[in-house]
Structure 1
Amino acid sequence: MITHLRSDHPDDLRKAENERKGKNGAKNEKNSRYDNDANSNLIMALSTSNVPFRFVKNEYFKKFCLLLNPDHIVMSPDAIRRKLAENSNKYILEISKKVGDLEKCFIACDGWDGRYENVSLYALFVYFVDKDFCKQKLVWFDKEVTWNKNRNLQFLGIQKLDGKSTAENIGNLISKLIRLYGIDFCKIMGGITDAASNLKSFLNRNDLYHIHCAAHSISLILEEASAIPKVAQVLAKVNRLAAHLSRSKTDRKKFRDRSAALKTKGRIPLPFSVTRWAGCVMLAVAYLEHYQSISALDAFQQFLLDDNEKKVLNHFIEMTTPFLEAIHNAESDATYCSEIVPQYASLYEFVSGQNQKTRLVKLLTSETLKRYSKYLTNDVALLAVYCDPRFAYLDGVLKTVDWEDIERNAVNYCESSREVRPADATGTEPPAKKSNNQNTFFSRFLESKRQSQPTESVRTEIVNYEAIIMAGRPSPSSCPLLFWKSNGARFPQLSRLARHVLCSPQSSAQVERLFSRCGELVSSSRRNRLFTKTMNDLLLNASLGALKKLSEEVRDKEESESDEDSDDDIGEDVYSMWPRNATNRRSSSAPPSL
């Protein structure tokens, strides 16, 4: 039969063989794609849970996988470690290509210490503006890297710190991380961090600018306000209700059912994480919104407030709502550090216009003024305000600083960081022979005139910049980088300054939110014996998984947090480490958030 087909029907036989090969090839390709997807999801499941690698050797897990696909081969623990390292190396390689033209950048760094301070983890993000005036954020996928120009951060990694959390060890870790991506340390312009002394010491040692995280700075004001005795006494009742609801699943269900019957929307009063900025204010807001639902509990009298306590709590919420809005605004990664000073100017104007006879208003006014004045002495924060056309030369933004002082700082910065163009560095003519009269009065006169030309150029740009701003200021909702992108040729020196100082956001919220996951990993008795290299790869993959999750799903609103009826809704999971866009309650006297 085969001989007959080969001799009399060769074309039909060849066609049938090609079809069979095509079907087998498509089947093999489909199986290969299935295996890759399955292995990638297995890696992410192990990275975002406390399950040890040896779980893949479990007999029943293997049977479960065989029932799903008899041809699938489960990865071994060693293969999992290799895949983790492969993902990390691939990520580093892709980022290294993207940051090749990085000119200046800001870093956001923060650490997490174990309960007994035997483990310290530090994460690092890098912010920069490219030459096309786009702030970029990298979103990691298993097979590709996608760039979103509406975001502004580069996640470099998270690693275990060797030794104590000193400024020297932190500096060594940061140097090690940025070298992995081919970034020169001299390209770091500064950092945005909280008030940790070791991080501030590291920046000061290396002569780098430091911007205090705006969200953390404002949250310190609210902490001081919540410590006022009358306010603290009322907040204690609020916390008792939140603690009771977190412990009792039955009462929590009753409370939710009553709120649903009353059509009360929003998050019920459950405890926030201790690291959550302005958690006391958010809890107080939730308490008042669901006040009518308290009667659904069996023993609810202890959680109710009298008229004076209600008055105190309402006044506390009314005075702190603008501060809460400012924190939520600062937590977004689409902000600019140029918004910090105007935001504080807005808060100070609001609180100084209230009745100063109450202790709460007095404290808010003094604390706001103290931190507002501190930012007004920060050179890079002032330069950022100046380079933002929405706020430059705006009356009421700078309390004690003149715009002329910032202009002088801009001139000095442009002069000290003058860009050397390639055409100047690769001239074809040989260098001119040095004159023997280098120290004559005439040579010094010519040299001074030659050096004054760039300064006059910057001053001319400053004059023209002020004129164009005063003629027509961009809207508050516009992007300042679009202004410099369209006017870069007209203001080459100032546009370069803007690329440097506008790369940082208002806060270090992204890195702050990262450690809810990391603490679970290193505190687990089943995972705390990992080698440092494996743990670093595991943490990097877990963090990239969180980034991927956020790129695929719309972030929930703040009011929908802890909405599931389970005990797990009390804490924050791996995906709540990233800030959410929230709709906030606004008081009638609060100024609009920037």
Structure 2
Amino acid sequence: MTTPPPKKMRINVKNRSIVWKFFKGKIDPSMEYVDCPSCGKRLKYLGTTSGLKNHIENMHGKEIEEIIQKERTVTSSDEKSIEEANRELAKSFATGLIPFRFAENPEFQKFLEKIPDDYVLPNAMKLRALIDETASNYVSKVKKQLEPIGKYTLLSDGYSDRKKDFHFYSAHVSYIDASFKRKITFLALRAVKKGDSASIGEAVCDILNEFGLEFSNCSTLTADAGSPLVSLADRHQIDRIHCSCHVLNLIITDFAKIKEVNKIQMHVQNFARFLSRHKELKSNLKAMSSAKGINVPLPLPIAPTRWGGISILLCQYLAHHESAKNLADFQHLLLKSSEIEQVKELSIILKPIHDAIIRMERDSSFASEIIPTLIFLESITLKSNASLARKLTALVRKRLDACMSNHRLLCTMLCDHRYAYVKKWIEPLEWKDVEDWAETYDQGPPTVINAQRSRVDDENIDAFLNSSLASDSIVQNDIKSEFVRYCALLTTNRPTCSSPLDFWKTQSSNFERLSVIALELLASPASSSVSERTFSRCSDFVRQRKRNRAKLETLNNLLTVSELAKI
């Protein structure tokens, strides 16, 4: 009986790796011949797989089929494993009430990359211990970073639960490092017994001492206008900067108290509350607006603490108003034509203020920008033809006048080459007055240069003609002389760089005393928004007492580790 020829198996190009699996791995390209591991036949190679591929297709089809089948089994098993793992991950998100965006968390992705085969997931107690240990390491690391700094800005804000039965405060410090870059660093959260300035001062002192800082080196406190924080700054005789975002938000909230504005605000808020209670309506409204190319978020209730909340809500309402008109459930909430015109008018005149809030809440902002921002808002509001523009302008002017009385802000503007010695920024004040206030920040003694000349030789023509180049006087390199040279530079050849820190990086050697003052004053950002962001990350966590009973210390360590991940 004749033996049937081996089954021929065609190998796809994309499955060329099967050749290497058949030959138990890749072959050295320099080899001229190789032996078939199955039949022992010597095959010509010379770095190309064509001959090997033809041989195993013609002579070893059954063995190739077994390899391919094994590959399919492994792939199917892997796909099943991935599918099951994803399903369990989704369950953990659901049962743990974890935000979906956590799947994109960089640290979680790094964890998945580094997880070893024999990894055993730690229990809750072990995880808490790891968080505490990592937080302790953060304190040591930051303490070392803060060792060389002198004057710094303290950024703080408080949080109280709705029942006011507990309070805690955050502390960040802002400073300029040796490379003329500003750093804003989270220190800690601390509980306070009461919301008074003494309790807050005690908590802040503990935080500063933990990081090796002294309260006496605090140059200014940037916070909102809460009376305990105002009193805290007063008790320590330090400057205070009213958070610019809070200032701008006060303009909007004061404006919302006007009868006509309040009426429109109530209508829009009623619409938002109604929409938030009806899930199906939200889906329908979103679908109708999306069909029209509108991707603005739906008008839903906004927390009272959200800066510029009414401005945001008005814009969202206008974006979805046309779609809402087509849904029966909204008919009782629709506004009249005249009221819609008022909504449009209000959204237009409030938009510049909301845009200013967005700019001022950046960590890259400077306190020197607060007064110019208010001047811009006053100017642009005056140009508006809106019926309520004059009342809004008056509210802007009220806050501008308050800021103009803050000598710290004016001195910071003097140290910002974009504004210094430009009259329009501080009218009706004079820059000479600001120079006098800025002198109080000059702590070092004047540098004395004895320029006394030797006796001039009256019989030497060269010495006689150049004798006026020398001076018998004693020259003092004091802050006043630096102001004269600084003013001359800016009035004749003002640099065009947009960052005041870049300016002082290049000019510090020319203005040794003034540059020290500038680094102290420019360390202050325009707002304490970094504290607000801290509370937005932890407020939900704190309020859910039934789901977790975490202490404030645990919350502090969680936030500390979160900040550590950014370093």
TM norm structure 2: 0.72
Q: Do 1:156 and 1:177's aligned partners in 2 also have CA atoms closer than 8 Å?
A: yes
1:367 equivalenced with 2:395 (yes/no): yes
Q: Which amino acid aligns with 1:98?
A: Q
Separation in structure 2 between the aligned mates of residue 259 and residue 246 of structure 1, nearest angstrom: 16
The CA RMSD measured in Å over matched residues stands at 2.7
CA-to-aligned-CA distance 1:97-138 (integer Å, 9 cap, x gap)? 1111111111111111122222211111100012321112xx
Q: Do 1:331 and 1:506's aligned partners in 2 also have CA atoms closer than 8 Å?
A: yes
SS of the equivalent of 1:110 reads: strand
Q: Which of residues 128, 131, 144 is equivalent to 2:175?
A: 128
Shift of 1:291: 1.9
Q: Do 2:135 and 2:560's aligned partners in 1 also have CA atoms closer than 8 Å?
A: no
> Which residue of structure 2 lines up, in the alignment, with residue 402 of structure 1?
430
Q: Do 1:294 and 1:303's aligned partners in 2 also have CA atoms closer than 8 Å?
A: no
Shift of 1:296: 4.0
Separation in structure 2 between the aligned mates of residue 392 and residue 308 of structure 1, nearest angstrom: 46
> Which residue of structure 1 lines up, in the alignment, with residue 213 of structure 2?
183
Shift of 1:493: 0.7
> Which residue of structure 2 lines up, in the alignment, with residue 502 of structure 1?
522
Q: 1:324 to 1:235 in 2, by over 3 A?
A: same
SS of the equivalent of 1:210 reads: strand
SS of the equivalent of 1:284 reads: helix
> Which residue of structure 1 lines up, in the alignment, with residue 507 of structure 2?
487
Shift of 1:231: 1.9
Q: Do 1:225 and 1:364's aligned partners in 2 also have CA atoms closer than 8 Å?
A: yes
> Which residue of structure 2 lines up, in the alignment, with residue 110 of structure 1?
157
Q: 1:453 to 1:274 in 2, by over 3 A?
A: farther
Separation in structure 1 between the aligned mates of residue 329 and residue 97 of structure 2, nearest angstrom: 38
> Which residue of structure 2 lines up, in the alignment, with residue 523 of structure 1?
543
Q: 1:93 to 1:529 in 2, by over 3 A?
A: same
SS of the equivalent of 1:315 reads: helix
Separation in structure 1 between the aligned mates of residue 330 and residue 266 of structure 2, nearest angstrom: 15
Count of residues in correspondence between the two structures: 435
1:89 equivalenced with 2:110 (yes/no): no
Q: Which amino acid aligns with 2:541?
A: L
Q: Which of residues 444, 449, 471 is equivalent to 1:418?
A: 444
> Which residue of structure 2 lines up, in the alignment, with residue 467 of structure 1?
488
Greater shift, 260-269 or 336-345, is seen at: 260-269
SS of the equivalent of 1:207 reads: coil
Separation in structure 2 between the aligned mates of residue 487 and residue 227 of structure 1, nearest angstrom: 48
SS of the equivalent of 2:423 reads: coil
Q: Which amino acid aligns with 2:224?
A: D
Q: Which amino acid aligns with 2:354?
A: L
Q: Which of residues 72, 76, 95 is equivalent to 2:119?
A: 72
> Which residue of structure 2 lines up, in the alignment, with residue 573 of structure 1?
none
Separation in structure 2 between the aligned mates of residue 223 and residue 547 of structure 1, nearest angstrom: 36
Separation in structure 1 between the aligned mates of residue 560 and residue 128 of structure 2, nearest angstrom: 16
Shift of 1:76: 3.8
1:158 equivalenced with 2:184 (yes/no): no
Q: Do 1:50 and 1:524's aligned partners in 2 also have CA atoms closer than 8 Å?
A: no
Q: Do 1:383 and 1:410's aligned partners in 2 also have CA atoms closer than 8 Å?
A: yes
Shift of 1:543: 5.6
CA-to-aligned-CA distance 1:371-406 (integer Å, 9 cap, x gap)? 111111111111110100011112321133211100
Q: Do 2:251 and 2:396's aligned partners in 1 also have CA atoms closer than 8 Å?
A: yes
Separation in structure 2 between the aligned mates of residue 307 and residue 181 of structure 1, nearest angstrom: 59
1:200-219 correspondence to structure 2 within 5 Å = 200-219=230-249
Separation in structure 1 between the aligned mates of residue 300 and residue 564 of structure 2, nearest angstrom: 26
Greater shift, 262-271 or 193-202, is seen at: 262-271
Q: Which amino acid aligns with 1:157?
A: A
Q: Which of residues 193, 198, 210 is equivalent to 1:168?
A: 198
Q: Do 1:521 and 1:527's aligned partners in 2 also have CA atoms closer than 8 Å?
A: no
Q: Which amino acid aligns with 1:303?
A: L
> Which residue of structure 2 lines up, in the alignment, with residue 8 of structure 1?
none
Q: Larger C-alpha radius of gyration, 1 or 2? A: 2
Identity of aligned residues (%): 28
Separation in structure 1 between the aligned mates of residue 126 and residue 266 of structure 2, nearest angstrom: 52
SS of the equivalent of 1:103 reads: coil
Separation in structure 1 between the aligned mates of residue 169 and residue 307 of structure 2, nearest angstrom: 20
Greater shift, 280-289 or 520-529, is seen at: 520-529
Q: Which amino acid aligns with 1:260?
A: S
SS of the equivalent of 1:252 reads: helix
Q: 1:287 to 1:530 in 2, by over 3 A?
A: closer
Shift of 1:85: 1.7
Question: Which of 1 and 2 has higher RCO (CA within 8 Å, sep 6+)?
Answer: 1
1:293-442 correspondence to structure 2 within 5 Å = 293-355=323-385, 358=387, 360-414=388-442, 417-418=443-444
Q: Do 2:372 and 2:425's aligned partners in 1 also have CA atoms closer than 8 Å?
A: yes
Separation in structure 2 between the aligned mates of residue 110 and residue 507 of structure 1, nearest angstrom: 11
Separation in structure 1 between the aligned mates of residue 191 and residue 134 of structure 2, nearest angstrom: 18
CA-to-aligned-CA distance 1:279-330 (integer Å, 9 cap, x gap)? 1011101111222111343322223222211221122122211111111111
> Which residue of structure 2 lines up, in the alignment, with residue 292 of structure 1?
322
Q: 1:230 to 1:115 in 2, by over 3 A?
A: same
Separation in structure 1 between the aligned mates of residue 550 and residue 311 of structure 2, nearest angstrom: 39
Q: Do 1:376 and 1:400's aligned partners in 2 also have CA atoms closer than 8 Å?
A: no
Shift of 1:244: 2.2
1:244 equivalenced with 2:274 (yes/no): yes
> Which residue of structure 2 lines up, in the alignment, with residue 58 of structure 1?
none
Q: Which amino acid aligns with 2:480?
A: R
Unaligned runs of at least 5 residues, structure 1? 1-41, 52-64, 137-152, 422-449, 553-594
> Which residue of structure 2 lines up, in the alignment, with residue 591 of structure 1?
none
Separation in structure 1 between the aligned mates of residue 285 and residue 123 of structure 2, nearest angstrom: 47
CA-to-aligned-CA distance 1:223-262 (integer Å, 9 cap, x gap)? 1112222222222221122122222111111111111111
Q: Which amino acid aligns with 1:463?
A: V
1:6-21 correspondence to structure 2 within 5 Å = none
1:541 equivalenced with 2:567 (yes/no): no
Separation in structure 2 between the aligned mates of residue 213 and residue 482 of structure 1, nearest angstrom: 24
Q: Which amino acid aligns with 1:470?
A: T
Unaligned runs of at least 5 residues, structure 2? 1-88, 99-111, 448-472
> Which residue of structure 2 lines up, in the alignment, with residue 59 of structure 1?
none
> Which residue of structure 2 lines up, in the alignment, with residue 457 of structure 1?
478
> Which residue of structure 1 lines up, in the alignment, with residue 312 of structure 2?
282
Q: Which amino acid aligns with 1:312?
A: Q
Q: 1:224 to 1:79 in 2, by over 3 A?
A: same
Q: 1:78 to 1:355 in 2, by over 3 A?
A: closer
SS of the equivalent of 2:424 reads: coil
SS of the equivalent of 1:220 reads: helix
Separation in structure 1 between the aligned mates of residue 303 and residue 140 of structure 2, nearest angstrom: 35
